[in-house]
Amino acid sequence: MTGTLINIAAVLVGTILGLLLGGRLNEKVKQTVMVGLGLVTIVNGIHMTLETSNILIMLGSVLVGGILGEWWRIEDGLNWLGARLADRFDKAEGGDGGSRFIRGFVTASLIFCVGPMTIIGSIQDGLVGDYRLLAIKSMLDGFAALLFASSLGIGVGFSTLVILVVQGGLSLLAGQAAAILTDPMIAEMTAAGGVLIMAIGVGPLLELKPIRVGNLLPALLLAPLIVWILTLLGIPLAPQF
């Protein structure tokens, strides 16, 4: 849990600095920062998708995961949670404060909790107490939180609740997770996460097209499940030519 606590502290510090500096940054600077974050996020997502050994696994996990996410209305659940928090803590942000809060909460939660560093770092921290990878992730998340908070407000800070549940939960269950997740499973989970990361860049950050990214989250569970099924059936993960 040490790495998770460091991550939470970094995001909170970044959020506070972003809120303090936000008023000093003009709208053009904020827009440029958000565009830069969006572009880098897309590049990072592309890099993550290259981990796949078979694009059909990534495609299947994202498509089926999207169907399940829409059925379970995960995005609506995240928005509901953000709205409830907004009612309590975001009244000072004006008429559109609630939607701004939700955008900051959901976007930051997904970006901070989707990716190989979250999975591998949490497992390392939980198994042997090695939190170096999460410490590196914390530095990246803290800087991102500063930039996000300057544009999206205090909702970014509440993403630490999701960090605590996701990373903390993975660390606490590291023994069981390490016994279940193989390298190919983590690779395909990373690739599926890359698609979600790109969706965040295109949707919430660059605002090119509205995307309910939260409803794609089941893909992160389906990707390793597909790998497990293929392995059980003796089907090679990589296509054979």
Which percentage of the chain shows pLDDT scores above 70?
88
- pLDDT tens profile 44-66: 889 889 989 999 999 999 999 99
Q: Domain segments of the chain: what residues?
A: 2-232
User: What mean pLDDT is predicted for residues 99-112?
Assistant: 79
The count of residues in the chain is 241
Contact 212, 77 (CB under 8 A): no
Name the phi and psi angles at 151, rounded to 5. Answer: -110, -35
User: What mean pLDDT is predicted for residues 188-215?
Assistant: 86
Best CA proximity match to 53, nearest among 198, 217, 224: 224
Q: What is the pLDDT of residue 241?
A: 46
User: What mean pLDDT is predicted for residues 65-86?
Assistant: 83
User: What mean pLDDT is predicted for residues 28-47?
Assistant: 82
Q: Measure the CA–CA gap between 89 and 95, rounded to whole angstroms.
A: 14
User: What mean pLDDT is predicted for residues 154-162?
Assistant: 87
Best CA proximity match to 58, nearest among 192, 187, 185: 192
Q: Looking at the predicted structure, is the pLDDT value of residue 79 above 90?
A: no
User: What mean pLDDT is predicted for residues 141-161?
Assistant: 85
Mean pLDDT (the chain, rounded): 82
N- to C-terminal Cα separation, the chain: 45
Q: What is the pLDDT of residue 82?
A: 65
The three-point CA angle 164-165-168 to 5° equals 65
Q: Measure the CA–CA gap between 73 and 105, rounded to whole angstroms.
A: 17
